[in-house]
Amino acid sequence: MAVMALFTLVLTYQGFSIASLLKMAIRGSQKSFSVISVLLIIGAVTASWMASGTVPTLVYYGIQIINPGSFILVAFLLTSIVSLLIGTSFGTVSTIGIALMIMAKGGGHSQLVAGAIIAGAYVGDRCSPMSSSANLIAIITQTRLYTNIQNMWRTAAWAIGLSLAIYAILSILNPVQTADQMIAQGIETTFQIHPINLLPAIAILVLSIWQVEVKRSMLISIAVASAIALVYQHYSLVELAKFITLGFRLEDDSPLHAILIGGGVVSMVKVSIVVILSTAFVGIFAGTRVLQRVEGVLQRANSRSDRFLVTTLVGVGSAAFGCTQAIAILLTQQLVEPKYKENEKGNYQTRP
């Protein structure tokens, strides 16, 4: 917001009026409205999965299969699976990631475990139908989310396969002694652990396979999770509503207080503001043509491979400049879209 204010002052000094800049910002931010509803629903999904015991059950079952000789490999697999289900790297690291790090504490090789957790957390952040970045890309490029995900898996499968091989070797060479069983015991005493708790996640998986619209899939999952939270986990309707709105939180005396926390619609408000500001920036960039020199360089990219290379470089540069995925996605789309429009064959192009 401070940069937006400074940027506005510089542009007014160069002759642009406040009213025209405001119009550009509003025109740009309109692109964000469709994705904000997805972001808010994702917050509700995360909280409802906490309350229903879905995330705790995933953590509980996951840590049961860990042994010293496979710890690093299983850490990567578990975080990959959880991230695919909940679609967020932050949510994955703050739940199963923290649990794994606590278990590995004092067992040696914690840096390798941390690396495996981070790598796994980004699998779903890219390729999950619940990923906010995947939804944002689909919306601004007017492409189908599930088709994009299928295309991403063609390249992701190679990277995941190579990662599995590397982490398997690292696990054998660097066994990690688990140091704490407090988490499993705490989950058992706090939640009713049963396979039924996994129904909200199964619903998302099945509906994704059927390619049901992602908002509808998430709302169905929230309904299933809410029913389990009320009937099976014995939360009241008021408590459930509070969790979905403000985020899930256990009592301060719970051993899981710092692990099983988060989600909620309110938690996504900050992210939504970032997206709105990012799209406002992009609107001003487009209206004032401050990146005209960059656009001139892009015009020299004529072949398909050149466009691909330029898109990659612009994406990296936008991420370095904006420090958020939203700015990287939106600014890249704004800059490279005209070049793709010149060669448009629909929003998807097959290999020649």
**How far is it, in rounded angstroms, from Cα 291 to Cα 140?**
20
Q: What pLDDT, on a 0 to 100 scale, did the predictor assign at position 278? A: 79
User: Please, which pLDDT band fits residue 155 given cuts at 50, 70 and 90?
Assistant: confident
Which of 79-88, 275-284, 340-349 has the least mean pLDDT?
A: 340-349
Instruction: Between 49 and 30, name the one with better pLDDT.
Output: 49
% residues pLDDT > 90 (the chain): 31
CB contact set of 208 (below 8 Å; sequence gap of 6+): 129, 146, 217
The answer to whether 163 touches 76, Cβ cutoff 8 Å, is yes
Instruction: Between 343 and 300, name the one with better pLDDT.
Output: 300
Instruction: Between 62 and 115, name the one with better pLDDT.
Output: 115
**Which structure tokens are listed for 60?**
């509980």
User: Global pTM?
Assistant: 0.80
pLDDT above 60: residue 350: no
CB contact set of 7 (below 8 Å; sequence gap of 6+): 281, 284
Q: What pLDDT, on a 0 to 100 scale, did the predictor assign at position 30? A: 81
Alpha carbon 286 to its chain centroid, in Å, reads 27
Instruction: Between 297 and 49, name the one with better pLDDT.
Output: 49
pLDDT, tens only, 219-249: 999 999 999 999 999 999 999 999 999 999 9
pLDDT, tens only, 162-198: 999 999 999 999 998 875 567 888 889 899 999 999 9
Which of 74-78, 223-227, 234-238, 308-312 has the least mean pLDDT?
A: 308-312
User: Please, which pLDDT band fits residue 351 given cuts at 50, 70 and 90?
Assistant: very low
3-state SS of the chain is: CHHHHHHHHHHHHCCCCHHHHHHHHHHHHHHHHHHHHHHHHHHHHHHHHHHHCHHHHHHHHHHHCCCHHHHHHHHHHHHHHHHHHHCCHHHHHHHHHHHHHHHHCCCCCHHHHHHHHHHHHHHHHHHCCCCHHHHHHHHHHCCCHHHHHHHHHHHHHHHHHHHHHHHHHHHHHCCCCCCCCHHHHHHHHHCCCCHHHHHHHHHHHHHHHCCCCHHHHHHHHHHHHHHHHHHCCCCCHHHHHHHHHHCECCCCCCCCCCCCCECCCCHHHHHHHHHHHHHHHHHHHHHHCCCHHHHHHHCCCCCHHHHHHHHHHHHHHHHHHHCCHHHHHHHHHHHHHHHHHHCCCCCCCCCC
**How far is it, in rounded angstroms, from Cα 143 to Cα 140?**
8
pLDDT, tens only, 281-296: 878 877 887 777 666 6
Instruction: Between 228 and 55, name the one with better pLDDT.
Output: 228
Q: What pLDDT, on a 0 to 100 scale, did the predictor assign at position 352? A: 40
Instruction: Between 342 and 220, name the one with better pLDDT.
Output: 220
Average pLDDT along the chain: 85
**Mean pLDDT (whole number) for 337-348:** 68
